[in-house]
Amino acid sequence: MWFKDAEHEKSFAELGERAAARPGEREYLAALYVLAALDKPVAKYVQPRRVAFTALFKAAGPWSSGEKAFVRLAATLFNGEAWKVAVHDAFSCLDPANCQVALEALKIRYQRSAF
C-alpha cells in the first residue's frame, strides 16, 4: 500500500488499532486510510465499529476545501448509502499527493484483492 509519508502510515496504523478494524473490512479500512492522511485530530472521531462522521463534518467546518473533501470521501467510502459525494467534489481541490491518497483509497475499497 502506498503512503504519502511516514506520518500517514503511522496514523493509519494507529487509527486501525483504535477502530479494531479487521482485514476484510474494506469500507472501514478505506475510510481510515483517507482520514489518516489528514494532518488533523481525527482519532477522537474513530471508535470500534464506527466513525462519528456527523461530528467530524462539524469539526471540519473551518478546514481547507481539500481537507473537507477528504472527510466527505472517507464518509462515502465507509457508507455510500448514507454519505454521498460526487467525484468532482472529492478530487477537484486535491494536490497530487492527496489525489494519489484518494485513488489508493478507492483501490482499498473496491479492488477485491486489496485486502
pTM: 0.92
Is 44 inside any structural domain?
yes
> What range does the domain containing 72 cover?
6-110
Residue (of 87, 89, 98) closest to 34 by Cα position: 98
Is 70 inside any structural domain?
yes
In tens digits, the chain (115 residues) has pLDDT values of 899 999 999 999 999 999 988 878 999 999 999 999 999 999 999 999 899 999 999 999 999 999 999 999 999 999 988 888 888 888 989 999 999 999 999 999 998 764 5
Is 1 inside any structural domain?
no
- Number of independent structural domains in the chain: 1
Q: Are 55 and 45 in contact (CB under 8 A)?
A: yes
The amino acid occupying position 17 is E
Is 15 inside any structural domain?
yes
